[in-house]
């Protein structure tokens, strides 16, 4: 069937109103420059026009897409199809947030979509898609910061209210031990051991109550990853293959070496625990990725987070029910697990002004940390 060509939008007027700068860029060029996928669906439910981002989104060239039914690419019961139908039926524009699009061809994306009728092309609907990945995850990360804060307050309270009475209980049990029979001795030992166990737990939580700003300098993240790798290979990750995919030109991170070691030790330890000794594979990746800026905690300034460091494994993945609370403290699926590793990772990364994200696909679990770059000049804050 021959397609009628419909311009994506009306071309800019050749003589702009007085006072405004002359517009010479063509509308198609503007649409193609947009990072968001934009496409037009006609009355038959076929693509009529697509911008470059839409070609990438559907993993197909414009020539193959135009004239093709959107239902061939998106399930018929998808809210995206319902949105397009509704806009066509009502003639007014609408948006839909948090749609999960899952197709064999494009994989799984969480998107928001806006759709509007086109006055010049009756029955055609223009759709723009925002992929939620980064914005959505950063939003989640800000929630994790809140979670770390609530543990902070609790840890400080526990240190006061639990450790002192416990040392009294332990001392009393030791006094009783002096005159105790063999049977009673077992009980006093039990009191001491359990008291020690609780003190150990409170000590671990006290890590969260340290509110001092961290000391930072320019650190080489590859040296940190090498250190973590050595520790892992000689201990908890024995038998797993640890591979590297580094960007050797990556600039230094503005961070605290010891704390960053803790972050990556925790992530690699989880990756090792999720994989089998026989076929476990862990990939450490570093990349420079522009484009993510985030409000610094407690200030208006925006921090640029171009350094991306990720830990990937081929294990069974994070259990579905844990995912929404993954970075909260005490969330664990392991027998004897403390559930503090990822909470600590979130706290330390947050203290660096960075973010940590989680991506789970079958046999491909990825934790990615985005961190700021060290200032180029010598004057570090």
Ligand X SMILES: Nc1ncnc2c1ncn2[C@@H]1O[C@H](COP(=O)(O)OP(=O)(O)O)[C@@H](O)[C@H]1O
The site for ligand X (CB under 6 A) is made up of 266, 270-271, 274, 313, 315, 317-319, 322, 326, 331-334, 337-343, 365
Residue 318's binding partner out of Mg ion, ligand X, none, with CB under 5 to 8 Å set by partner kind: ligand X
158 or 274: CB nearest ligand X:
274
Residue 341 in contact with Mg ion, rule: CB under 5 A: yes
CA–CA separation, 267 and 376 (whole Å): 29
Residue 293's binding partner out of ligand X, Mg ion, none, with CB under 5 to 8 Å set by partner kind: none
Task: Kindly state the smallest distance separating residue 272's Cβ from ligand X, in Å.
Answer: 9
Task: Kindly state the smallest distance separating residue 327's Cβ from ligand X, in Å.
Answer: 8
124 or 225: CB nearest Mg ion:
225
Task: Kindly state the smallest distance separating residue 269's Cβ from ligand X, in Å.
Answer: 7
Comparing CA positions, the residue from 159, 151, 353, 360 lying closest to residue 259 is 353
Residue 313's binding partner out of Mg ion, ligand X, none, with CB under 5 to 8 Å set by partner kind: ligand X
Residue 146's binding partner out of ligand X, Mg ion, none, with CB under 5 to 8 Å set by partner kind: none
Q: Which region among 222-230, 281-289, 334-342, 364-372 touches Mg ion (by CB under 5 A)?
A: 334-342
Task: Kindly state the smallest distance separating residue 230's Cβ from ligand X, in Å.
Answer: 20
Q: Is 368 helix (H, G, I), strand (E, B) or coil?
A: strand
112 or 332: CB nearest ligand X:
332
Residue 315 in contact with Mg ion, rule: CB under 5 A: no
91 or 200: CB nearest Mg ion:
200
Residue 251's binding partner out of ligand X, Mg ion, none, with CB under 5 to 8 Å set by partner kind: none
Contact 242, 229 (CB under 8 A): yes
Q: Which residues pair with 86 in a beta bridge?
A: none
Binding positions for Mg ion, 251-270, rule CB under 5 A: 270
67 or 317: CB nearest ligand X:
317
Residue 322's binding partner out of ligand X, Mg ion, none, with CB under 5 to 8 Å set by partner kind: ligand X
Q: Angle 136-211-331 (CA atoms, 0-180°, nearest 5)?
A: 50
Residue 189's binding partner out of Mg ion, ligand X, none, with CB under 5 to 8 Å set by partner kind: none
CA–CA separation, 168 and 372 (whole Å): 46
Comparing CA positions, the residue from 71, 73, 70 lying closest to residue 40 is 70
Listed in sequence order, the residues at least 6 apart from 307 whose beta carbon sits closer than 8 Å to its beta carbon are: 221, 250, 251, 253, 286, 287, 288, 370, 371, 372, 373
The residue whose Cβ lies closest to ligand X is: 341
251 or 339: CB nearest ligand X:
339
Q: Is the dihedral of CA 323, 324, 328, 329 positive or negative?
A: negative
Contact 106, 65 (CB under 8 A): no
Task: Kindly state the smallest distance separating residue 209's Cβ from ligand X, in Å.
Answer: 18
Task: Kindly state the smallest distance separating residue 115's Cβ from ligand X, in Å.
Answer: 37
SS3 content of the chain, % helix, strand, coil (to 5): 40, 25, 35
Q: Between β-strands 217-219 and 293-295, what pairing exists: parallel, antiparallel or unpaired?
A: unpaired
Phi–psi pair at 346, nearest 5 degrees? -65, -40
The residue whose Cβ lies closest to Mg ion is: 341
Task: Kindly state the smallest distance separating residue 131's Cβ from ligand X, in Å.
Answer: 24
Task: Kindly state the smallest distance separating residue 43's Cβ from ligand X, in Å.
Answer: 47
Task: Kindly state the smallest distance separating residue 263's Cβ from ligand X, in Å.
Answer: 11
Contact 228, 271 (CB under 8 A): no
Listed in sequence order, the residues at least 6 apart from 24 whose beta carbon sits closer than 8 Å to its beta carbon are: 12
Binding mask 80-119 for Mg ion (x = CB under 5 A): ----------------------------------------
HSE (side-chain half, CA atoms, 13 Å) at 238 = 3
If one counts every other C-beta atom within 10 angstroms of the C-beta of residue 35, the result is 11
Q: Between β-strands 217-219 and 107-117, what pairing exists: parallel, antiparallel or unpaired?
A: unpaired
CA–CA separation, 242 and 66 (whole Å): 44
Interface residues toward Mg ion, by CB under 5 A = 270, 341
């Amino acid at each position: 069937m021959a397609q009628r060509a419909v311009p994506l939008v009306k071309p800019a007027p050749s003589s702009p109103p007085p006072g405004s700068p002359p517009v010479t860029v063509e509308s198609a060029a503007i649409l193609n420059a947009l990072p968001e996928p934009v496409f037009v669906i006609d009355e038959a439910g076929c693509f009529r026009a697509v911008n470059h981002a839409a070609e990438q989104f559907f993993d197909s060239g414009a020539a193959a897409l135009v004239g093709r039914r959107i239902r061939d690419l998106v399930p018929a019961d998808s809210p995206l199809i319902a949105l397009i139908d509704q806009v066509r039926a009502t003639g007014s524009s609408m948006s839909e947030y948090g749609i999960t699009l899952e197709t064999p061809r494009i994989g799984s994306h969480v998107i928001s979509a806006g759709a509007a009728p086109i006055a010049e092309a009756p029955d055609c609907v223009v759709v723009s898609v925002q992929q939620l990945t980064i914005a959505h995850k950063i939003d989640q990360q800000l929630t994790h910061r809140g979670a770390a804060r609530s543990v902070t307050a609790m840890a400080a309270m526990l240190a006061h209210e639990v450790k002192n009475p416990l040392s009294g209980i332990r001392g009393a049990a030791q006094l009783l031990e002096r005159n105790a029979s063999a049977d009673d001795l077992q009980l006093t030992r039990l009191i001491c051991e359990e008291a020690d166990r609780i003190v150990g737990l409170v000590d671990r939580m006290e890590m969260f109550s340290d509110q001092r700003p961290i000391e930072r300098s320019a650190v080489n993240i590859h040296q940190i990853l090498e250190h973590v790798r050595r520790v892992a290979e000689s201990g908890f990750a024995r038998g797993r293959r640890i591979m590297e995919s580094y960007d050797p030109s990556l600039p230094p991170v503005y961070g605290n070496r010891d704390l960053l070691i803790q972050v990556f030790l925790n992530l690699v330890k989880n990756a090792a625990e999720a994989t089998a000794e026989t076929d476990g594979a862990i990939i450490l990746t570093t990349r420079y990725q522009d484009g993510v800026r985030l409000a610094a905690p407690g200030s208006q300034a925006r921090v640029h987070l171009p350094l991306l460091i990720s830990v990937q494994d081929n294990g069974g993945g994070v259990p579905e029910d844990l995912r929404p609370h993954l970075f909260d403290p005490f969330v664990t699926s392991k027998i004897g697990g403390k559930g503090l590793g990822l909470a600590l990772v979130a706290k330390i990364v947050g203290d660096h002004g960075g973010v940590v994200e989680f991506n789970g696909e079958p046999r491909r679990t990825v934790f990615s940390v985005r961190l700021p770059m060290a200032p180029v000049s010598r004057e570090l804050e």
